[in-house]
Amino acid sequence: MIEVKELTFSYGKDKQALHGLNFSVGDGEIFGFLGPNGSGKSTTQKILTGVLKGHGGYVSLFGQDISTVHTQDFFRKIGVLFEFPYLYANLSAVDNLKYFSSFYPAKQLRDIEEILEKLEFKADFMKKPVSSYSKGMRQRVSMARALISSPKLLFLDEPTSGLDPSGAVLFRKIIEEERAKGTTVFLTTHNMLDADLLCDRIAFITNGNIVALDTPKRLKEQNCNHRVRIEYLYQGRREEKIIEIPELERGIPFMHDEIISVHSEEPTLEDMFIQYTGRGLS
Amino acid sequence: MWGNFCSLFKKDCKMMISGKFFLVAFGSLIIYSLFINYGYVHYMNAELYNVYLYDPQGTQQEVSELIYPVASLEELNAVLSSDANGVGIDVSSGTPDIVFYYGSEKSDNHRADYALSLLHQENAYTAWIVGTNTLESKQRKEMCSELLFIEITAVGFLGIASVLFKEKQMGAIRVHAVLPFKKGLFIMAKLTVFLLSDLIFAVLMTVLNIGVSDAAVILPAVLVQTAILSLIMALTGFGCTMMLKDFRQFSLVYVVIIIFVSAPVFLSANTSVKMAWIGLHPFYHVYMGLKNACFGTPVTNPVYYICSVCEIVILFLIVQTAFHKEMGKEGSL
């Protein structure tokens, strides 16, 4: 679906944003693109969505070179959720969606009310102006806008931003459903839980370079220290020990009365993020 | 393509309605019309100059009833001291000499011509009658053209900025970068809304203040000039909105435009202030084009129209570049 080879981009003579990125995204894959602010995530996404021109290297989408592919036909096949819910505040959710969907052929459009309902949008707000909506409601309308044209390739930038935990769960479920239909998802996020739960593969980008690219599971395994933390009770006292995993092969290698918990010392995706990018999440 | 244009056009109309642009334009139309019909043509009518004649030898046999004879030079000087706008004619030397209490370069000639024309001296000073306008129709056309110019350059210009800044601040412009339509249509739709609005305004302004029969004659030329001015102002407003950060910055730029663009044009066209370089000022030609169209003498020089079209095309290209740049921006609302 997406193929990127030696992608470079510069905003000026001394402002090189991307330094030869290489990655590919398969059909129906959810690909996570993670990196700190200013790392080149948005620049990459803008190049892929045809907003930024003048890149170096080779980029192809739908099997066609992106330099020649940015026709109306290309835009009909993609859906984009921006980092912020860009909507007409004076129009209602329905009017916004009617307006944005009017640029697509009718046969590829989904039903507005149905999609809003699926996103658990409050029905009594459908015809009220967006200016009266909460951030979560605006995000739902923006997601509906991205999905309304049944895109084959979906670019999502911080999709669960501004949502409460149940809203985030709902969005993750909807993204999974889209993938199940065959939609490819390019996910840009800071939310490590989203990346961990949704992505088939993730790439860490920092200073315009991809520093790691693999499945979340393998990335964690590669950086695992192969230890477990065991909490136990012995002679009425609660104690804790960290041991190497091979030591467990012959059973618990210390005296104990009761095992309370066993935690692997596997790093989280956030640990990976900090390790690869050298920066914490902001 | 037509369907996309209609969507954009409909959305722009909704934006302008919610921004109360049409209400402001309608309010301006009412205020301008009230001013012209009940103010300007009634109270701005300058009185005729009084003409005083000193002719001790009685050389002037057929003089107008509007001339007041005086008995001596002292009396002539005294009467001009109390009526500073009056014009004295001293024929004591055998030939008429004009006497003013004070004067300025342009009005002196005007007053002198008027005074001498009243002498009926062998028809040598018969004043020319230019056009068929009565004093009232002249006043109506003059003020109509000036207010139309102000409306398009001020209200229309600020209107497009306020609508676009709203759209820019909402970030909705950026969504258009990934929608399947030709991006130039976004600009075209906006221009069409403002152009139609200005043309309708021009029709109503002309009909309400000049009269239906006179308006019917001059309207085609007025609409052409309105279209030229409207497109230039809408494109300038669009470009400024895309390039400037917020409405505050835009207001500062607008003040600069008022000082360096509109003010010299108005001063040069409507007062005795002379500016040698005003012929190089493109707005001067557009303003005079509009004014002449209102007086039924439209510009016929093709160079003017070629330059106008070139200016509109160049502005469109600049606006298109700025629009693409704005769509590619990122950031919060």
φ/ψ region of A56 (left if φ > 0, alpha if ψ in -120 to 50, else beta) reads beta
Closest Cα of chain A to B193: distance in Å? 17
Taking CA–CA distances from B176, the nearest residue in chain A reads A100
Taking CA–CA distances from B171, the nearest residue in chain A reads A86
Taking CA–CA distances from A95, the nearest residue in chain B reads B11
pLDDT value of residue A154 = 93
Looking at beta carbons, which residues of chain B come within 8 Å of A72? 180-182
| Rounded Cα gap, residues B247 and A278, in angstroms | 40
| Rounded Cα gap, residues B158 and B328, in angstroms | 25
Closest Cα of chain A to B174: distance in Å? 8
Looking at beta carbons, which residues of chain A come within 8 Å of B174? 82, 86
> Which among B7, B178, B332 has CB closest to A80?
B178
Contact B179 A83 (CB under 8 A): no
| Rounded Cα gap, residues B121 and A254, in angstroms | 135
| β-bridge mates for residue A3, sequence order | A24, A60
Domain residue ranges of chain B, discontinuous segments joined by +: 2-41+134-327, 51-117
| Rounded Cα gap, residues B14 and B21, in angstroms | 10
Closest Cα of chain B to A5: distance in Å? 22
pLDDT beneath 50: ranges in chain A: 282
Q: Which amino acid is at B210?
A: I
pLDDT beneath 70: ranges in chain B: 44-47, 102-107, 120-130, 272, 330-333
Provide DSSP, B16-69. Answer: HHHTTHHHHHHHHHHHHHHHIIIIIHHH--PPPPPEEEE-TT----S--TTEEE
pLDDT value of residue B282 = 83
ipTM (interface pTM): 0.81
Give how far the C-alpha of residue A94 lies from the chain's centroid of Cα atoms, to the nearest Å. 26
Residues of A contacting chain B (CB within 8 angstroms): 42, 46, 49-52, 72-76, 78, 80, 82-91, 95, 99-100, 102-104, 145
Q: Please say whether the beta carbons of B40 and B143 come within 8 A.
A: yes
Contact A84 B332 (CB under 8 A): yes
| β-bridge mates for residue B53, sequence order | B69, B89
Contact B177 A51 (CB under 8 A): yes
Closest Cα of chain A to B242: distance in Å? 16
A84-98: b (≥16 Cβ within 10 Å) or e: bbbbbbbbbbbbbbb
pLDDT digits (tens, 9 = 90+) for A89-117: 888 999 999 999 999 998 999 999 899 99
Size of interface A-B (CB pairs under 8 A): 69
> Which among A52, A78, A103 has CB closest to B4?
A103
pLDDT value of residue B306 = 94
Contact A72 B181 (CB under 8 A): yes
pLDDT value of residue B116 = 80
Residue B235: is it exposed, middle or buried by C-beta count within 10 angstroms (0-12/13-18/19+)? Answer: buried
Closest Cα of chain B to A47: distance in Å? 10
Domains in chain A, CATH or no CATH each: 2-220 (3.40.50.300), 226-265 (no CATH)
| Rounded Cα gap, residues A32 and A160, in angstroms | 14
| Rounded Cα gap, residues B297 and A190, in angstroms | 67
DSSP single-letter state for residue B260? I
Taking CA–CA distances from A87, the nearest residue in chain B reads B172
Give how far the C-alpha of residue A149 lies from the chain's centroid of Cα atoms, to the nearest Å. 20
Closest Cα of chain B to A76: distance in Å? 6
| β-bridge mates for residue A18, sequence order | A9
Looking at beta carbons, which residues of chain B come within 8 Å of A51? 177-178, 327-328
Token pair recorded at residue B89: 């004619």
pLDDT digits (tens, 9 = 90+) for A112-156: 989 999 988 888 888 889 989 988 899 999 999 999 999 999 999
Taking CA–CA distances from A92, the nearest residue in chain B reads B14
Closest Cα of chain A to B30: distance in Å? 28
Looking at beta carbons, which residues of chain A come within 8 Å of B14? 90-91, 95
pLDDT digits (tens, 9 = 90+) for B84-143: 778 888 888 888 888 887 665 556 777 777 778 777 655 555 666 667 777 788 888 888
Closest Cα of chain A to B183: distance in Å? 10
Q: Please say whether the beta carbons of A55 and B328 come within 8 A.
A: no
> Which among A46, A72, A86 has CB closest to B175?
A86
φ/ψ region of A150 (left if φ > 0, alpha if ψ in -120 to 50, else beta) reads left
> Which among B181, B328, B332 has CB closest to A103?
B181
Both ends of chain A: CA-CA distance in Å?
31
Task: Determine the residue among A37, A41, A90 to mutate to test chain B binding: the one whose Cβ has the most chain B Cβ atoms within 10 Å.
Answer: A90
Residues of B contacting chain A (CB within 8 angstroms): 3-4, 7, 10-11, 14-15, 18, 166-167, 170-172, 174-175, 177-182, 327-328, 330-333
Token pair recorded at residue B306: 């070629």
| Rounded Cα gap, residues B15 and A217, in angstroms | 49
